Chain A
């Protein structure tokens, strides 16, 4: 359960400060699938950073379950990210020198999981996104859709409470986009995740339970 209250995020810009989020108050209950839409520069990624404990708000409070993300230090935030939050990025952000299997395993490193268990869980995660056979491949040897599936496997292998995706289909063609959305929706449904997807794509947004629209840092709940 996310509780955002009067969250403002300012970036120091040239001359004038950039207000990326302006007094945002919103709750996201556990297990909800939320789509965030809005024009470019509206503040979508900034909001996702706040939800993902990647950055702290300039003012206001963000609570995830019992933790107040705005108040915690870097180490604590890192621990929360490592345990509770899975990320999927527009550019997949796989580590190019590691194999698919190893990329997935990196998510288990902060949890102090043994090598054997890491291997087993990563294999399972890859299987759950339909890539059981591709564990030995490097990212460069995989298609865009396959790379994003590896990234999704990396995000869910630690069994997080929240899955955050920033334009996960932005770099994919339509067919692959549907494929990835199916994977994400399937995981959301099966695992009871809170799933927040930033997207430009109305087709993707329509699949969500709830849509938020952000423009110039202001959030409008479209229900």
Chain B
């Protein structure tokens, strides 16, 4: 009888069934879509992080940067101290030409904007820490080359240059006025320990051509290029490339093993060569750490922070929040708007189910009174009401799963492309690799992804070479682009069904409670 009665009620009161089911279906569909997209965005973030920080990296250690030093001003200071890209062209620099101008071809390797370095001994300290399974250090550098013709400056102007760069810029003419014409190009260079591939950015690369760096390469001017950088700049294995003013032999190219188009750096050279060319002897910028157990990452972070008070220790989940670009926005959107929307729509659907069930019970007062009068127990009636609600919820849930799966399918067909960089913002400029990647990806526009603003501001007062940073580095390492794919897991489906049943049970419990309080004598009331 339960089944017959249930079926008759659901088909006989179709309107109520449909309204409750539609409300539930929309809510469930939304939950599924939001969940899947959120999972997709999370995967995409993981991809970005993986490409930047390398597979197997649980923790990164960087030099702690004081709040001030991540601003343009203090980086400019760094620039003046010779750390930023800066060119000092003496009066006799370059080749004097007959018409009073001279050609300059200079290339300089230096620590990138917002990057601070720390002693190599930190690596040893990290390696000694309990819970560290592997650690590797890299030195992230920026190679800036300047090629062109400059007008000859008189001595007075030369003398002023340090203090008054604005004068310098206007007379020198970044736009090529005043008899000068030049091009500025920059690309990222990473000093890595040759032969060590276990952890760090190089761990998530795969060899395309040639060979990787080996232990024998220590001290040699050899370079492995990012495949897409090599391609867009027409470099081939065996060619030479100028880094820090020296000729390097290209021995191989690598590509990312992830779904993104580029690797962490445009070029990889032996660490010791990188250190000496950039005047950073015994210095590294980032240490990549693999924990012995992925469960102990947080504990390891704590102990590293204790032993290295001057360092910033970041876990993957710390870093996830630093992913910027449209990927960052998508993540924000999904986690904020999506979640709230789901909760609101779900609450509305539950409310609709509850209100309709209550009004249904009220409308059926005499029906339930009559059933009680002919001997139906309270339990049976509550069960009937709850059964109806649960089935309505289930119908809605199943419809919602269908709609949700279609919605996710549509998202996957459209497959919006998200751009993600890793912004240094929240980390005081510590995540220099990411900043540079994001920066280069900005195609020279000052509104590019994270870090551009500070880079631009930094360069200008640094001695007239600020444009180096804004150069249209035809470049190379675009910030990571990832096609969003939203996975549907069995879990999401299970949760969706559980929510639908929960909604039905909630409505049924409240409606059933109302029904159970009806007196059997209601059956005799003549008015309805």
Contact = CB atoms under 8 A, between A and B. Distances in A.
Interface in B359-398: 366-367, 369-378, 380
A19 B66 CA distance: 86
B524 A89 contact: yes
A105 interface: yes
A97 interface: yes
Interface in A83-135: 83, 86-87, 89-91, 93, 95-99, 102, 105-107, 109-111, 115, 118
A97 B380 contact: no
A93 B521 contact: no
A57 interface: no
A97 B9 contact: yes
A216 B464 CA distance: 109
Which residue among A49, A93, A111, A118 has the maximum number of chain B CB atoms within 10 Å of its CB? A93
A79 interface: yes
Contacts of A60: none
A7 B367 CA distance: 28
Given A54-B373, A75-B377, A106 B523 contact: no
Contacts, number: 93
A140 B136 CA distance: 82
A105 B521 contact: no
A93 B375 contact: no
B1 interface: yes
A87 B380 contact: no
Interface centre among A90, A109, A170 (most CB of B within 10 A): A109
Contacts of B519: 54-55
Interface in B1-39: 1, 4-5, 8-9, 11-13
A34 B520 CA distance: 23
A105 B1 contact: yes
Interface string A152-163: 001100000000
Nearest to B13: A97
Please tell me the size bucket of the interface on A.
Answer: 35 or more
B216 interface: no
Contacts of B523: 54, 87, 89, 93
Contact of A95 (B367, B377, B520): B367
Nearest to A49: B521
B374 A96 contact: no
A89 B528 CA distance: 13
Interface in B487-528: 519-521, 523-524, 526, 528
Contact of A97 (B8, B369, B526): B8
Interface residues of B, number: 28
Contacts of A97: 5, 8-9, 11-13
Nearest to A84: B375
Interface in A45-69: 45, 48-49, 52, 54-55
Contacts of A98: 4-5, 8
A49 B521 CA distance: 7
A52 B524 CA distance: 11
Nearest to B527: A91
B14 to A, nearest CB: 10
B339 to A, nearest CB: 40
B210 to A, nearest CB: 78
B526 A90 contact: yes
Contacts of A27: none
B8 A102 contact: yes
Interface in A20-62: 45, 48-49, 52, 54-55
A7 to B, nearest CB: 15
A182 interface: no
Contacts of B528: 91
A74 interface: yes
Nearest to B8: A97
Contact of A48 (B4, B369, B371, B524): B524
Given A78-B372, A81-B374, A91 B366 contact: yes
Given A54-B523, A95-B370, A102 B377 contact: no
A96 B370 contact: no
A199 to B, nearest CB: 13
B515 to A, nearest CB: 14
Nearest to A55: B521
B403 to A, nearest CB: 28
A44 to B, nearest CB: 10
A78 B377 contact: yes
Contacts of A107: 374-375
A98 B3 CA distance: 12
Nearest to B371: A106
B176 to A, nearest CB: 86
A110 B4 contact: no
A70 interface: no
A196 to B, nearest CB: 13
A52 B369 CA distance: 13
A91 B527 CA distance: 9
Given A91-B366, A96-B12, A110 B526 contact: no
A87 B526 contact: no
Contact of A93 (B1, B5, B11, B370): B370
Contacts of A82: 374-376
A115 B9 CA distance: 19
B1 A106 contact: yes
Contacts of B376: 78, 82, 106, 109-110
A97 B524 CA distance: 20
A52 B8 contact: no
Given A82-B375, A102-B4, A93 B366 contact: yes
B377 A89 contact: no
B4 A45 contact: no
A83 B524 contact: no
Most buried by A among B372, B523, B524, B526: B524
A49 B519 CA distance: 11
6 A-B pairs with least C-beta separation? A82-B375, A97-B12, A110-B375, A97-B8, A93-B370, A54-B521
6 contacts: A78-B372, A83-B375, A93-B370, A97-B13, A106-B5, A110-B375
Interface of A: 45, 48-49, 52, 54-55, 74-75, 78-79, 81-83, 86-87, 89-91, 93, 95-99, 102, 105-107, 109-111, 115, 118, 154-155, 166-167, 170
Given A81-B520, A95-B370, A102-B5, 15 more contacts: A54-B521, A74-B378, A78-B378, A81-B373, A87-B373, A91-B526, A95-B371, A97-B8, A102-B1, A105-B1, A106-B1, A106-B376, A109-B375, A111-B375, A167-B526
Interface of B: 1, 4-5, 8-9, 11-13, 366-367, 369-378, 380, 519-521, 523-524, 526, 528
